[in-house]
Amino acid sequence: MMRLLPSMACWLGTILLGLAAGQTPVDRGDRGTQASAPPGMVWIGEVLARVWSTPEPVRARIDALITNWRTTEGTTDDAVATGLAALGLEAVPYLCQVLDETRDDVPTVAILRALGTAKDPHAAGTLERVLDRPSVAERAAAVAALSRVATRNCLRGLLRALDDPSSEVWVPASVGLLTLAREDPGLNMEGSLAAHMAAAKERSRVALVLGRLHGPSARAVLLELLAEPGFEMAVLRGLWFAALPEDGNLVVQLLGSGSTAERKEVCLLLGKIGYKPAARGLIDLLHDCDRGLAANAHWALGKITNLSLAADPELWEAWWTRAGSKSAAYRAEEEVDGSAGP
């Protein structure tokens, strides 16, 4: 019975939080998110849960481990993390309290590792707040912990971490989102990522996660986002992992518009999916004054046609006249439909 008290106290704190905010502490079905309370009420609920669920012997043991780290030379973060993790879920509330005090004299990374080992979803708010700290190591450790906890409470923090300037943070965050999607198929990760796209500073990273979900729903979301102004470059990079040959009819529309950088991405994607009706437009790009764009078009032509012709526009024009234009596979879909007759 005594071992159940901490969990019961955490739930009591959460219930009080929901009642104070005029909400019930249950998941809403939309986009895999949870009902949320005002920031002040969230803080009150967390504090109540922590005070009521932290046995004094556990607090004393945590303080002893922290003091030993501070005073004993050679004490490593790994050793402290192991000791803290051994205390189990009962340690989580107090560890969160220590982190939220943002003290410089505590082994922050070790505490974050212990919270990741505990996998208690109640720690998600504290872990997310660590993402605002200047230390890359601490932010990376927070993302690692969020990824290990891998519950819906962690979604917002992992999405935020995609905008982090350090690859030590945003790359693990993208992996954590994929893990969360795998662990909770009902989360609707695709919808959450799509909703986050507009506010994201680094849209390409969001699109890359979408692409790596490798599902029809993620692909459909990317194709829909492709029509949104300003999303093209990001979506093209995500489609690299998700697009199918039949998606070429949408992608090829960007071949003659947009920035040079976008058109380069379009060439690469058309080549990867082997979209044959793009051949004529790619041959035209061999004449482009931007040699990088011309080189990408040449690479795509090789992939699409399985030919090894040099990057000489005249050679490709000759092939088009001799064979390409006569093959329905290489002609634009509207031309094929028009030639079929009534």
As given in the structure block, the two tokens for residue 215 are 């599902």
Q: Is the pLDDT of residue 36 over 80?
A: no
Confidence of residue 94 (pLDDT cuts 50, 70, 90): very high
Q: Check residue 342 and give its pLDDT.
A: 37
Q: Check residue 48 and give its pLDDT.
A: 52
Would you give the distance in Å from CA 36 to the centre of its chain? Answer: 21
Confidence of residue 10 (pLDDT cuts 50, 70, 90): very low
Determine the Cα–Cα distance for residues 47 and 96; give it in Å rounded to an integer. 10
pTM exceeds 0.95, yes or no: no
Query: Cβ neighbours of residue 108 under 8 Å, at least 6 residues apart?
Result: 99, 130, 135, 138, 141
As given in the structure block, the two tokens for residue 41 are 């009420």
Q: Check residue 257 and give its pLDDT.
A: 83
Q: Check residue 14 and give its pLDDT.
A: 41
Q: Check residue 6 and give its pLDDT.
A: 45
Phi, psi torsion values for 310, nearest 5 degrees: -70, 170
- CB half-sphere exposure, 288, CA atoms < 13 A: 21
Would you give the distance in Å from CA 179 to the centre of its chain? Answer: 10
Determine the Cα–Cα distance for residues 234 and 48; give it in Å rounded to an integer. 43
Q: Which domains does the chain have, with CATH numbers?
A: 54-185 (1.25.10.10)
Determine the Cα–Cα distance for residues 178 and 199; give it in Å rounded to an integer. 20
DSSP states of 320-341 = HHHTGGG-GGGS-HHHHHHHT-
As given in the structure block, the two tokens for residue 23 are 């909400």
Determine the Cα–Cα distance for residues 300 and 316; give it in Å rounded to an integer. 12
Q: Is the pLDDT of residue 123 over 90?
A: yes
Residues 194-212 have a mean pLDDT of 96
Contact between 175 and 197 (Cβ < 8 Å): no
Beta bridge mates, 34: 27
Q: Is the pLDDT of residue 25 over 60?
A: no
DSSP states of 165-209 = S-HHHHHHHHHHHHHHHHH-GGG-HHHHHHHHHTT-S-HHHHHHH
Q: Is the pLDDT of residue 98 over 90?
A: yes
| Ranges 48-57, 262-271, 317-326, 333-342: which has the least confidence | 333-342
Q: Check residue 103 and give its pLDDT.
A: 86
Determine the Cα–Cα distance for residues 330 and 278; give it in Å rounded to an integer. 7
Higher pLDDT, 268 or 15: 268
Phi, psi torsion values for 2, nearest 5 degrees: -60, -35
Q: Is the pLDDT of residue 22 over 80?
A: no
Of residues 88, 99, 16, the one with CA closest to residue 52 = 16
Q: Is the pLDDT of residue 339 over 70?
A: no
Q: What is the mean pLDDT of the chain?
A: 86
Residues 114-121 have a mean pLDDT of 96
Beta bridge mates, 27: 34
Determine the Cα–Cα distance for residues 140 and 116; give it in Å rounded to an integer. 12
| Ranges 51-55, 182-186, 205-209: which has the least confidence | 51-55
Contact between 126 and 82 (Cβ < 8 Å): no
Query: Cβ neighbours of residue 176 under 8 Å, at least 6 residues apart?
Result: 143, 144, 146, 147, 150, 154, 158, 161
